[in-house]
Chains A and B, each alone.
Chain A
Amino acid sequence: MAILFDEHTRVLVQGITGTEGSFHTREAISFGTQVVAGVTPGKGGTEFEGIPVYNRVIDAVQSAGANATAIYVPAAFAADAMLEAIEAGVGLIVCMTEGIPVLDMIKVKHTLKGSGAYLIGPNCPGITTPGTGKIGFMPNFIHKEGSVGVISRSGTLTYEVIWQLTSLGIGQSTSIGIGGDPIVGSNFVDLLTLYNNDPETAAIVLIGEIGGTAEEEAAEYIQSNVKKPVVTFIAGQTAPPGRRMGHAGAIIAGGKGAAADKFAALERAGAVVEKNPAAIGMRIKNILEKKQ
């Protein structure tokens, strides 16, 4: 068991013939992912690594039975790609594209409401269920099957944490990078809900960043709903106020959205707060050992 991505997930890749799309599709296939279709307008009828390529998402859904999509199209076309996937009824939409204008994302998010689809990202490393498959950039070798749910706003920091767990012999149920943009599809609360209900997830690691209020919202949810242990870390404890550190989300101003506020909120909610990122794996290990 896992969340969102399981053995029934049939992936289509929007932008499969592009540099990023083709590279990561090959990686995903070697990880065991069922990639059933690609979409590149104008290249319908061709094949990529034996996978049929279609002009439209709806064709990939109807002809190849795709129920999830990996979006690797440039920022200027990414909102359109997401809207097309929502309209075609794709249940899991994962968008890796970085640099999508906020106003475009407002439209996408509005369209998403009520559609029943889950959107991961944009500007995210994707989703991986070890032993089953993945969508996105996460390196194949870092994962191991197990029972820890990893959810994060970062990219390479997420790999770091997953790799810590794996090196300590601790596997993951599903790992998700939700993306660093101001407006993302699924947020911490949406996914904590799924992890909380997943019988195979025993503990959760939540990696936040300064800026925004997603971690505070997560804390509220954890406090009243989550019974599983949650270990948290917030990147940017020492970032100077008012500066933006690469991610659109990473802004702090006026002492709000700062790491200290987020740590405090999470601590009050009963989460385990770990301020040393190098020790996150050990924390989880100790918690799981105590549980046994």
Chain B
Amino acid sequence: MGRYHLSTTPFTLLGKTSDDMLISLATSLTVRISCYNICGHISPGLRRFMKIHEYQAKQLLKEYQVPVPLGNVAETPEQAREIAARIGGRVVVKAQIHAGGRGKGGGVHLANTPAEAFEAAQAIIGMTLVTHQTGPEGRLVRFVLVEEAPVIAKELYLSLVVDRTRRRECLVYIASEAGGMDIEETAHTDPGKIIQAAINPAAGFSPFQARKLAYGLGLDRSLHGAFAELVKNMQRLFVKNDLSLLEINPLVVTGDNKLLALDAKVNFDDDGLYRHPDLEQMRDFAEEDPLEVAAVKTGVNYIKLDGDVGCMVNGAGLAMTTMDLIKLAGGEPANFLDVGGGASAEKIEKAFDILTSDPKVKVILVNIFGGILRCDRVANGLIEAVKKTRLTLPMVVRLQGTNLAEGRKLLEESTLTFTIAEGLYEAAEMAVRLSGKELHGITGSEKSGNPF
């Protein structure tokens, strides 16, 4: 039991917290619900990438009796006016896109009357909202959330996350009376203000956890009952839906002494989604990168970046390493692309389709370590794919592993022009040179006499 007593350790070292914690602290006021899914099979199965909107997050909270502001979604200024009239009083009109920083970008307006809500919605709907998370091209806003704007007496921070720290491995609540924007700052400068309460996996939620948080937050006694309910419901929502993060920031105490989740961020556990087909329906394809969507459908794990060296690699670790090498050699990777441990010819072909639809790509670097997947099969896959997709970009191929000689022979004997690299680093250098960049020498490593 000792390990799972409520931790009294202050939240001193950010390096000691979970990823999810770091993400949540870093994103503070964003109202993003994000989810990456890698559906679970031994062989790399369907990989999905999903985010949902703020209004959907709040619907989810409401379903689990976590109090959220009264509100609704509007696709037109008329609807916004109507919703504002029904709510009565001051409302806030918020652009619904899958990116944070909407306030700063002009996507959030306060409106004192239904007429003002109409004007705010008119200004926001149809605008291209640029925030630090959208990139310079911005995002088209198609609808807004109109909700009550309560009088705020106090802003708190409250989250439930998976703590993956060694020897903890449990769910833990994190709370702070310093809610709002600067929670990450607080964690650094005033760790004593951060309270944690771990949930023993065997015992589950217990009311003392809520008491620990409530007293720690200095909540007025009159709110303790509602707070305990809220804390318990957070745990229910988390476990029932396979979340990896549930963050309410800020959790506000209103002028009339009520608790309200003014903003929320939910991360789904990618691997738990198969148990929740209903959540999939919340997905909004219009908000996603079309190339990443295409990749998702083929089971290829692709993330677009800004460089010009397109990469195709088997295995996530090796794919990241290949990107590192391109950068070390002085180039810029165009993407992360993992075709999976056992890339089939069909997947390789699909991967080429994805790579070549990025107009920035000047050269393709293929790096495959053939284990179970033999190099000759990879080579055949490459040749077929190049023929089929009529690829004209220069391609550097680096194969290693089972049936290497056969694989290389196939590439050399084909009528196509592959640049064949022997070593890992050599491959990166060749690709960078073909992308038209100057090579960097690697410093601080033992390159001399290195056959790789």
Contact = CB atoms under 8 A, between A and B. Distances in A.
A261 B45 CA distance: 32
B400 A160 contact: yes
Interface in B316-366: 316-321, 323-328, 333, 336, 338, 341
A236 interface: yes
Contacts of B328: 275-276
Contacts of B305: 240
Contact of B371 (A107, A153, A156, A237): A156
A18 B41 CA distance: 12
Given A97-B42, A137-B341, A213-B165, A154 B14 contact: no
Interface in A146-189: 152-160, 163-164, 167-168, 180, 182-183, 187, 189
A103 B270 CA distance: 11
A180 to B, nearest CB: 7
B446 A283 contact: yes
B242 A74 contact: no
Interface-central residue, A75, A103, A236, A250, by most chain B CB under 10 Å? A103
A182 B41 contact: no
A135 to B, nearest CB: 14
Contact of A256 (B14, B320, B442): B14
A254 B171 CA distance: 21
Interface stretch (A4-12, A42-50, A198-206, A241-249): A241-249
Contacts of A246: 38, 301, 316, 319, 336, 338
The secondary-structure label for the interface of chain B is mixed
Interface string A96-114: 1111111101110110010
Contact of A98 (B36, B44, B171): B44
B303 A243 contact: yes
Given A98-B41, A211-B19, A235-B320, A156 B272 contact: no
Given A139-B371, A217-B166, A257-B19, A155 B45 contact: no
Interface string B1-39: 001000000000011111100110111000000001011
A72 interface: yes
Interface string A194-220: 000000000000010111111011000
B423 interface: yes
Interface in B415-452: 423-425, 442, 444-447, 449-452
8 contacts: A75-B40, A101-B275, A141-B402, A156-B313, A156-B315, A160-B369, A180-B316, A282-B446
Given A245-B336, A251-B23, 19 more contacts: A74-B42, A97-B40, A155-B318, A156-B371, A158-B317, A167-B452, A182-B162, A236-B323, A244-B36, A246-B38, A246-B319, A248-B271, A250-B316, A254-B23, A259-B324, A275-B324, A276-B325, A278-B325, A278-B424
